[in-house]
Amino acid sequence: MHQSNQTSGEWKSECPASGAMSAGRCPMREDGLDPTNMMPPANQQPSPGQPFPLSTDRVVSSIPKGGSNDKWVYPSPQMFWNAMVRKGWKWEKDDLNPKDMGHIIKIHNANNERAWQEILKWEALHAKECRNPKLISFKGRAQDFTIRARIRSLLGYELPFDRHDWIVDRCGRHVRYIIDYYDVGDEDAYKTGEFVELDVRPAPFDSFGSALDRMRVAMLRWSLYFSSGNETSDAQPSKSD
């Protein structure tokens, strides 16, 4: 995601990062990266050797941006292409086409919207404290597997293919959320673009409050699991995050 006031430069990553907003503005580091998303200013120019033109249209998300009254803005297909080229991705002439990039952008945006909705479910535990949480910053940490992900791996499950850390402003209190992205591995899901499962939760070791939220939700899920199992013999428990 990008902020709506970015107008020039090169886009690096689609993902939240640790960083601070200052007086509602987005300060730039000495290396030119925006500390709220660890990205250079947006680049809408075609990459050298790009085989086809791409749209530069951007979509405004539903996610409120910390430090302002604006919302975060998603990258255009051209910006996403430039990001992948920057990260070293290479394709043969017929590997991708503009329609493919449109699908990639839709999936990317949908995953971010789903992640925010999952965060809002957690934030509902604190609705009396703050009714309008906002996203301050985010960071991609694909190679930093959490303890939870490693334990799942030891039990035979796949490791997540990506991880983001999102910093949320809970009306003055900064709360870090971890988002693990898992490949569902279902062929039909690939056809519909719904092949990503999200595991969204507050970072438990950041504060006592976050750990308490995790325990409260775990207890609620277990109680729902056992109550649904006792009501009817063929009842199936809902899948947890």
DSSP symbols for 159-171: PPSEEEEEEEEET
- Residue 25's DSSP bridge partners are 22
Max mean pLDDT range (20-34, 48-62, 78-92, 219-233):
48-62
Residue 43, both tokens: 């680049």
Give how far Cα 230 sits from Cα of 63, 218, 224, 235, 238, Å: 39, 18, 10, 8, 14
Determine contact, residues 57/50, Cβ cutoff 8 Å: no
Q: How many residues would you count in the chain?
A: 241
Do residues 80 and 14 lie in contact, with contact meaning Cβ atoms separated by under 8 Å? yes
The contacts found for 125-130 with CB under 8 angstroms, 24 or more apart, are 125/213, 125/216, 125/217, 126/170, 129/170, 129/171, 129/173, 130/170, 130/171, 130/173
What is the mean pLDDT of the segment spanning 215-220? 90
State yes or no: pLDDT of 201 exceeds 80: yes
Classify each residue of 174-213 as buried b or exposed e, where b means 16 or more C-beta atoms within 10 Å of its C-beta.
ebbbbbbbbeeeeeeeeeeeebbbbbbbbbbeeeeebeeb
Q: Is the pLDDT of residue 97 over 70?
A: yes
Q: Tokens at residue 93, please?
A: 């002439």
For the ranges 33-37, 56-60, 109-113, the lowest mean pLDDT is seen at: 33-37
Q: C-alpha angle with apex 172: 1 to 149, nearest 5 degrees?
A: 55
Q: Is 182 helix (H, G, I), strand (E, B) or coil?
A: strand
| Residue with the larger pLDDT of the pair 205 and 11 | 205
Place of tokens 């940490």: 141
Cα–Cα dist 229/215, whole Å: 21
Q: What is the pLDDT of residues 37-81, one digit of tens each?
A: 666 667 888 888 888 899 999 999 999 999 999 999 999 999 988
pLDDT at 4: 45
The pTM of the full predicted model, rounded to 2 decimals, is 0.74
